[in-house]
Structure 1
Amino acid sequence: MKAFYYILAVQFLFVVSAYSQDFDFFYFVQQWPGSYCDTEKSCCYPSTGKPEADFGIHGLWPNYNDGSYPSSCDPSSQFDQSQTSSLLKRMRTEWPTLACPSGDGLKFWSHEWEKHGTCSALGQHDYFQTALDLKNQANLLQSLTSAGIEPNGNSYTLESIKDAIKQSVGFTPFVECNDDTSGNSQLYQIYLCVDNSASNLIECPTFPHGKCGSQIEFPSF
C-alpha cells in the first residue's frame, strides 16, 4: 500500500512539473495608448480617468517556440481582486483598460489572468507583480525618447525604433503596428520575451506575424 501511494505521489509531482514547464517562454507586451485610440474603433478612458502618456501593459503571455500558445489552462481559477489589492494602484496606472465602454480595469485583468495567467505556473499576485516589475525594467518610452523618438505625431523608421529599444533594454523587440484613421501605419505594441520562469528577459525564440510600414508614426496621447 505504501508503494502504491509513493507511485501516486511521484506521478503527481511529475504532472505538476510538466505543467509548470508546459511552455517555452513569455511574450511581455506593452501598447501605446495613442495608437490604440487613434483608430476607427477609437477608445474609452478608464472610469478612473485618462491614463498617463506612457506605454501600458497588455499582457504576459506564455508561448511555445513554434508560435502557438496555451490558453485558459484552469477554468476553475477565476480572477480574485483580493489577491492583487496591494497592486491595484500600480495596475490602474501601468495596466489601464482603454476598451469601450469605460471600465475600472477588472474585466481586462480578469481576461488576462484567465486566458494567459492560468497557464503561467504563477499565482495571481505573482503574475501581475511580475508584469508590473518587467514594465519598470523595460522602460520603453524612456528608451525611445532618449534616442530622439518622441510621441509627437512624427514618423520614424522601424529599424530606428527597434535599435533604440535594443540599445536600452539589451534585447531585440518585435514592433506591431496598426492603422490610424487615415490609414497610416503607427507604433502600436512592443513585444519583448521572458524566460519560462518569468525571471529574465531573453532574445525571442520566435516573433509574431505581421509587419509595419517603412515609416511609422508615433502619435501623441
Structure 2
Amino acid sequence: MRFHAGFLALGAMTIAALVYGLAGEYGPADSTTDAVVSVQKPVAAPSEPKSVKPRVGTDAKVPQGTGFDFYVLSLSWSPTFCQSNGASRNREQCGQDKRFGLIVHGLWPQYERGFPESCPTDQPQQVPRSLGRQVIDVMPGMGLIGHEWRKHGTCSGLDMADYFSVLRQAYDNVRIPDVLRGTRHQTRTSPQALEDAFMADNPGLSRSAVAVTCDNQRLDEVRICFSKSLEFRACPEVDARACRRSELTIPPLPQ
C-alpha cells in the first residue's frame, strides 16, 4: 500500500509539473502579443502626423544652409520659355531635338520677406562642367547652371557641390503630376487645378506651399517651398504672387 501511495504521489507531482511548464510556455507569448499590439496602435492611429520623407535617397543627409529662412524650388515649364525668346538663348534646352517639360529654374534661398541675391563668397564663380553634368538632365544648360549659382547659390551658405546636391534632392523629392507628363497637345486648366494635382501627388504639400505662376495666359512656373531640411513648408509671400487667372494654357511638349 505504501508503495502504491508513493507511486500515486509521485505521479501527481509529475502531472503538476507538466501543467506548470505548459503555462510558463504559453503565458509569455500571450503577454508579448498584447505588448506588440499596444505599441503598434499609436503608429497606425489616423491622428498621428505623417512625416514627409524624400522619394529618393530617404537616408541622404541634407547639407544645412545658413543666412536665410527657407528655399523656393522654381520649376519652369520649358515649352513656354522656348516659345518666348528662349530658343535663341538656350539651345541646350530649346534645341529641335529637346523634349523638356518642367525643368529646374533654380533653388532660391528666401527670407520670410524678400530674398538675398549675388552674395559674397569664397567659392568660384564658374561652375565646373564636371559638376554641372550632375544636374544638367533637370537643369539644361551650363549657362543657366552658372547663373543660378552666382545669383542664388552663393546666398545659401553652402559650398558649390553641396548647393547642387541640395538642389538635386529638392527636385527628386517632388512628384510631377501626370497632367504635366507627356503633354502632346495644348490644354487649358486653372492654376488651382494644377496646385491640387501637385498636392494630391505630394503628401504633406499644402496650398500655401505651392504657387503656380503664369506668363500672360500660359503656364510659366511651379514654385514649391521647402525648409532647409527639405520638408514642405508654407511661404505666404511666394504664394501671394501666384497666377490669379481663372484659366491658363499649357503649351505642349515639342513633337
TM-score by length of 1: 0.71
Aligned residue number for residue 125 of structure 2: 79
Letter aligned with residue 123 of structure 2: S
Question: Is 2:166 the counterpart of 1:152?
Answer: no
Judging changes above 3 Å, is the alpha-carbon distance between structure 1 residues 61 and 42 closer, same or farther for their aligned structure 2 residues?
Answer: closer
**Match of residue 132 from structure 1:** 168
User: Does 2:126 correspond to 1:89?
Assistant: no
Provide the identity percentage.
Answer: 23
Deviation of residue 89 (structure 1)?
3.4
Q: 1:130 deviation in Å? A: 1.5
In 2, Cα distance between equivalents of 1:109 and 1:61: 13
For 2:175, the aligned partner's letter is N
Offset of residue 167 of structure 1: 1.2
Q: Which runs of 5+ in 1 are unaligned?
A: 1-19, 97-104, 180-184
Residue aligning to 2:112:
65
Amino acid in the other structure paired with 1:169: N
Q: Which has the larger radius of gyration?
A: 2
The number of equivalent residue pairs is: 181
Tell which has more relative contact order, 1 or 2 (C-alpha 8 A, sep 6+): 1
Change (3 A) 1:152 1:193: same
Q: Quick check: 1:168 aligned with 2:205?
A: no
In 1, the alpha carbon distance for the partners of 2:158 and 2:110 equals: 14
Deviation at 1:136, TM superposition (A): 1.9
Question: What is the correspondence of 1:171-210 to structure 2 with a 5 Å cutoff?
Answer: 171=205, 172=207, 173-179=210-216, 185-195=217-227, 197-207=228-238, 209=241
CA RMSD, Structure 1 to Structure 2 (Å): 2.6
Between Structure 1 and Structure 2, which shows a larger proportion of helix residues?
A: 2
What is the CA–CA distance in structure 2 between the aligned matches of 1:149 and 1:108, rounded to whole Å?
24
Q: Does 1:115 align with 2:151?
A: yes
Q: CA 1:160–1:144 in structure 2 vs 1: closer, same or farther (change >3 Å)?
A: farther
Structure 1 residues 206 and 190, CA, compared in 2 at 3 Å: closer, same or farther?
A: same
For 1:31, what is the secondary structure of its paired residue?
Answer: strand
**Following TM superposition, by how much is the alpha carbon of 1:198 offset from its aligned partner in structure 2, in angstroms?**
4.4
